Structure 1
Amino acid sequence: MYDDQLLNLLYEERIKTALESSLITDLTYQNAVIEADNKLDKLHNLNLNENQRLAIDEAISENNYMGAEYGRVAYQQGFKDALKLVSELSELL
C-alpha cells in the first residue's frame, strides 16, 4: 500500500509540472484545443433551449470525465511500466 501512495504522489507531481509544460508546447494538443473550442462555439450558436443545452453539457462533461480518467490510468500504467523496465534493466547489469 505504501508503494501505491508513493506512486500516486509521484504521478500527481509530474502531472502538475512536466505534463502541464508538455501540453503547452505540444502542437497536436494545442490544435485539438482549438478545434474543440471551434466546435463548442458552433454549438453555442445553435440557439438551443435550456433543457437541450443542459443535456448536451452533461453529455460533454461525462465524456470529458471519461477521457480524463482514461488519460490518468494510461499515464499511471506507463509510469509503472517504465519503473518495471528500469528495475529489470538494473538486474541485468
Structure 2
Amino acid sequence: MCDLFDLIQRVTSNKKEKTEFILNEFFEKRIDNALEITLKENKRFQEISKETCEKAIKIDKINLTKEQWKTVESALCASSHRGAEYGRVAYYQGFKDAVSVLYEIGQLL
C-alpha cells in the first residue's frame, strides 16, 4: 500500500498531471482493498445489506412471472449500479478534498 505521507509529499511537489496520476493510483488501491474490509466490519452497512436481502426475498414471494421478475431485477440492478457509482465518486471526491486540505495546511506552515 502507498504511504499517505509519501503521497502528500509527492502531491505537493509535482505538477497537476502527476498529482492526478498518483491520487488515482492510491485511490484505486484503497477502494479495491481497504474499502472492502471496512464494509465487512461496518455494522451499519451489514444491517442495511441484511435489510436489502430481506426485501428482495419479499419480492420473490409475490410470485411474479419470469418477465415481471426480469423487469424488477433490471430496475434493482440499475439502482444498485447507480448507488455504487455514486459511492465511488463521493469517495474519490473526499479523497481529493482531504489531499487539498493537507496541501493547504502545508502551505500555511
Say yes or no: does 1:40 pair with 2:56. Answer: yes
TM-score, L = length of structure 1: 0.92
The runs of at least 4 consecutive aligned structure 1 residues that moved more than 4 Å come to none
Which ranges in structure 1 are unaligned for 5 or more consecutive residues? none
Matched letter for residue 9 of structure 1 = E
Whether 2:31 is the aligned partner of 1:12: answer no
Shift of 1:16: 1.7
Asked if residue 80 in structure 1 is aligned to residue 105 in structure 2, the reply is no
Identity %: 38
Give the equivalent residue in structure 1 for 2:39: 23
Aligned residues: 93
Equivalent-residue separation in structure 2 for 1:27 and 1:39 (angstroms)? 19
Cα deviation digits, residues 13-59 of structure 1 (max 9, x gap): 00122111111111100000000010011111111101100100110
Tell which structure's C-alpha radius of gyration is larger.
Answer: 2
**Is 1:89 the equivalent of 2:86?**
no
Letter in 2 for 1:83: V
TM-score scaled by length of structure 2: 0.80
